[in-house]
Amino acid sequence: MESAVAIPEAALWRGSEVAGIDDFAVDMDPSACATLEEAALRLATEGVDPVEVGPDDLPLGGLGSTIEAVRDEVLAGSGMVLLRGFPVDRLSGDGIAMFFWGIGLRLGRAVSQSVMGDRLGRVVDVTDVDPHARAYRNRTELTPHSDPTDLLAFLCIVPAAEGGESRFVSSATVHEEIRAARPELLEHLYRGFHYHRFGEQEEGSDPVTPWRVPVYSVCDGLLSCRFVKEYVEMAADDQNPAVEITAAEREALDLFEATTQSTDLRIAFTLQPGEAIIANNYTVLHARTAFTSNPDRRRELLRLWMAADPTRPVVQEVAIYDRAYHGGEAGVPPQPGRMPSLASRFDQD
């Protein structure tokens, strides 16, 4: 454990000390959106798949400086931005997906989000046809966690009828809270835990990570966080004595989770149509309350998982899948013909 790591002041925010999500908001000028909007509409009308489009086909025009500032803030500042002003009232579903993809191209390189290999994901509840759908395809509560890439982005298209509140917390602030209250427990979080892979691993790989995935780690002076509670719990329930959680480790996990859910630390908000939250998975944890959709139109978000360029320096043990452990892409390995459906409630958003 490296307790002397320097943490940027901007990353050490507390929900109780800011004016809510508005303190993290950046508004896009409608006139600055015109160039990207026009290109997105043209390509969508031609039936082009967004994931096949590069930045030359989706010029930012007047949005360039805004998106560059957003990227800098997410990577080196507070760790998240609420980007407002997506033209959901002017572009159709395909058009707004193209517009969102154009923004994402300037933030990082989109990677696979599930065994389907989807790089532009749709977060929508499908449990009426698949009760075991992965968490981004169901309506259950999700506790604070991180996704397996540098950056994430969610764009709200249709809000829930009820619930679906987003909750974000600085993992750096959580680290400092634990260091102040129970510093002896940090060593267990730095040592980490085995993760269950829920059958999404590459062929021939183990169902549980052979290595421990650290909750906190330091590389090149940067503190990073990786945590998905359900993956840890399911690995411990896998009847393998080698991955059992000790009493001291359980105490550390319980304190970590309680701290991540502190109302003093977190920011809670509900995304509205045309708003996107962009966050750094290594410095911010996110959660979601359960929700219900309107009967005539389901809650829908668009999602990107992105590798930054250059990617954040991290220890190889933060990887969940073998290919990422060996320096490859960090997303879920595509498995043609499979769907992101698990006979378990344990999964990630």
- Which portions of the chain are predicted below pLDDT 70? 1-4, 125-139, 238-239, 339-349
Give, as one character, the DSSP assignment of residue 104. Answer: H
Q: Look at residues 68, 133, 134, 57 and name the one whose alpha carbon lies nearest to residue 98.
A: 57
Domains and CATH numbers, the chain: 12-325 (3.60.130.10)
Q: Residue 347: what pLDDT? A: 43
Say which residues have a Cβ less than 8 Å from residue 293's Cβ, sequence separation at least 6.
Answer: 125, 139, 158, 160, 161, 299
pLDDT of residue 124: 77
Q: In the structure encoding, which two tokens stand for residue 126, read together?
A: 């499908």
SS (H, E, C) 247-279: HHHHHHHHHHHHHHCCCCCCEEECCCCCEEEEE
Neighbouring residues of 263: CB distance < 8 A, sequence distance ≥ 6: 15, 16
Provide CB contacts within 8 A for 16, sequence distance 6+. 263, 264, 265
| pLDDT value at residue 134 | 52
pTM for this model (two decimals): 0.92
Closest to 177 in 3D by CA, of 248, 279, 246, 266:
266
The predicted structure's pLDDT at residue 345:
38
